[in-house]
């Protein structure tokens, strides 16, 4: 009896242990541990499997594996204001210090007043003047140093963290997973190309040459000692939003992506362009429906309306008809911030 | 005596054999077999060694290894006319067939006349109209198909070969060698970005996303069945020549190259920008001084003047003061065409 019980016990222990190991094994093998099981996670895993398994009929050769990701609201938090807009507003005192004549000129006077209600009411073309002043007129090197210094000190008011720590853990997993399977991951953002390049390599593992963003021209010139440098020009070359996204993808990559990820109406054309051809293609849209853990806005699905990251019912309808996968932050993501 | 002679003989044979093997070994290990020994070849080998040997004080991490190459006159033949200009001139009958109203309009009438002297006399702004008509107004897909079909049939009049076979063997070796040591090789050309992308992957092993060229905008739209496509727009976004080369490099790559290769005054700023910083940097200029095997033009070094690929004495002087290496096709290259 004793002996048999001991044998039985050992056997049970072995079974329990094997089960535990197998679960640990599964977790360790799961490239998307922050995702709940469900249609969004399955669509991702199925797509990557179909395009990268050499036995698959839908196999895509490695050099053609391009995946594009919107940034604001897709890879990191965009509410209540795009981080780059926060940067530009906070740069205004320095801009006015360098050009004191702007202190009494709108919209700079309003921004300097610090009155949030008045600032929020600035029309888009006035805000554009603030952006132009903060994002052009200096050398590339100086601009990068200014953004870098700001990122180190600025904190998001809700999470009290640097903005570069407000990235979505589930999306960082997608970036890493796709890269591990031979995809080149690109950011395709309405934000400034030079702005995003400052932190994207450290924050997302995405190098400067894989950032497609709204881009102004530069001017080549020489400093006092004859050394050449580039100055950021206010002239707009590429407005990388809406139809500008596929146009920017063609300009900068010259290949149609196999997968595209967005979260708002500005990403519609990018997803259309990506999925409008034969073969395995993936379009995904992040829906911000978790007001508790992040923010809830749409206005699709009865969520509150927003100007920052609009997801209208028409986009919801197109997602359905085009078989783009809508990711519910509330239901599909186990955790949100990294 | 016999024995000692045999031993001596065997010894000598072994020495001879070892010497022969060592030379074979050296030849097989030589990444630049089409280059004669000399300062240009040494500069290349030294630069790549210094930047890629982990023990070197000038080691450059792999992601930062960017090398940029002008195309016309640096990677392939540019005389008597840039290949893209030949393409545009030969496209004129098809352009006029699609738009018959152009037949009686200059400069199309002159081009249709087929009179080489009259065509050669067309001023630059008239030629620009021909380029715009041949390079814009159609979908990206159609443009690529047109260029592809032309490349398959067109032959260079001197060598009776497709233009894509007029690449320089020594430069193809440089591309392959640098890539084998972790460099990403980019083309940075005054030619059309979309034009070069059609053949660069097959011809040079350089993929579409590593082509920086003169670029027009595109327009996103839909065909009759609602499928999105991009139309090539005549609006110029980037004139990728002269100062436009460093500007294009910043726009498309976002990193300063470690090495830059050119052959004419249009490459001056690219080489300046590349070599104007501390650390190991390499600037090289191909001088076309071999009228027998290719062409001879300058006008530096007493070579005949040219409008296509000008290499003026001022560039020669700057090369000397900046320590850029001038490659003599005549003396540095064992063979020229691949």
Query: Average pLDDT of chain B?
Result: 92
Task: Kindly report which listed range (A144-148, B13-17, B164-168) carries the lowest average pLDDT score.
Answer: B13-17
Q: Do B250 and A230 touch (CB under 8 A)?
A: yes
Q: Do A208 and B252 touch (CB under 8 A)?
A: no
DSSP letter for each residue of B164-191: GG-BBHHHHHHHHHHHHTTPEEEEEEEE
Task: Take residue B27 and report the two structure tokens written for it.
Answer: 């030849």
- In degrees and rounded to multiples of 5, residue A306 shows phi and psi of -155, 155
Bridge partner residues of B220 (DSSP): B230
Query: To the nearest whole percent, how much of chain B has pLDDT over 70?
Result: 92
Burial A17-47 (b: 16+ CB within 10 A, else e): eeeeeeeeeeeeeeebebbeeeebbebbeeb
Nearest to A215 among B194, B251, B273 (CB): B251
Q: Do B193 and A250 touch (CB under 8 A)?
A: no
What is the per-residue pLDDT for A301?
Answer: 86
What is the per-residue pLDDT for B31?
Answer: 97
Nearest to A209 among B219, B253, B272 (CB): B253
- DSSP class of residue B241? S
What is the per-residue pLDDT for B26?
Answer: 53
ipTM value, please give it. Answer: 0.91
Q: Do B140 and A250 touch (CB under 8 A)?
A: yes
Average pLDDT over residues B138-164: 97
Q: Do A269 and B228 touch (CB under 8 A)?
A: yes
Q: Do A247 and B220 touch (CB under 8 A)?
A: yes
Average pLDDT over residues B85-94: 96
pTM for the model: 0.92
Relative to beta strand A325-328, strand A282-287 is parallel
Residues of A with CB under 8 A from a CB of B: 63, 140, 193-194, 197, 207-209, 211, 215, 217-220, 227-228, 230, 237-238, 243, 246-247, 250-255, 269, 272-273, 276
Q: pLDDT below 70 — which residues of chain A?
A: 1-28
What is the per-residue pLDDT for B278?
Answer: 87
Average pLDDT over residues B246-260: 98
E strands of B28-96, at which residues? Answer: 66-69
The nearest alpha carbon in chain A to B233 belongs to A247
Average pLDDT over residues B77-103: 95
Output the CA angle A285-A45-A60, nearest 5 degrees.
Answer: 95
Q: How many A×B Cβ pairs under 8 Å?
A: 77
pLDDT tens per residue, range B280-334: 999 999 999 999 999 999 998 899 999 999 999 999 999 999 999 999 999 999 9
């Amino acid at each position: 009896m004793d002996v048999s019980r001991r044998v039985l016990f050992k056997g049970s222990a072995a079974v329990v242990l094997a089960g535990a190991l197998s679960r640990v094994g599964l977790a360790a093998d799961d490239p998307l541990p922050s995702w709940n099981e469900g249609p969004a996670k399955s669509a991702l895993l199925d797509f990557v499997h179909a395009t990268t398994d050499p036995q698959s009929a839908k196999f895509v050769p490695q050099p053609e594996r391009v995946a594009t990701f919107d940034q604001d609201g897709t890879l990191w938090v965009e509410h209540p204001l795009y981080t780059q807009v926060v940067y530009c507003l906070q740069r205004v005192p320095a801009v006015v210090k360098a050009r004191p004549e702007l202190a009494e000129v709108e919209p700079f006077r309003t921004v300097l007043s610090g009155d949030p209600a008045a600032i929020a009411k600035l029309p888009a073309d006035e805000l554009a003047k603030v952006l132009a002043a903060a994002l052009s007129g200096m050398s590339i090197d100086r601009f990068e140093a200014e953004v870098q210094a700001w990122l180190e000190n600025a904190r998001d008011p809700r999470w009290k963290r640097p903005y570069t720590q407000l990235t979505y853990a589930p999306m960082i997993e997608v970036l890493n997973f796709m890269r591990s399977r031979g995809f080149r991951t690109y950011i395709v953002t309405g934000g400034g190309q030079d702005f995003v390049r400052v932190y994207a390599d450290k924050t997302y593992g995405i190098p400067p040459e894989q950032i497609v963003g709204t881009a102004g021209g530069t001017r080549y010139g020489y400093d006092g000692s004859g050394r050449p440098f580039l100055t950021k020009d206010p002239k707009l070359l590429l407005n990388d939003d809406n139809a500008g996204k596929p146009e920017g993808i063609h300009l900068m990559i010259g290949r149609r992506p196999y997968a595209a990820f967005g979260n708002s109406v500005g990403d519609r054309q990018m997803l259309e362009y990506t999925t409008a051809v034969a073969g395995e293609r993936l379009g995904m849209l992040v829906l911000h429906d978790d007001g508790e853990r992040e923010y809830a806005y749409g206005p699709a699905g009865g969520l509150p309306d927003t100007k920052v990251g609009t997801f209208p019912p028409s986009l919801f309808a197109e997602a359905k008809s085009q078989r783009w996968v809508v990711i519910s932050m509330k239901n599909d993501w186990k955790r949100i911030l990294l």
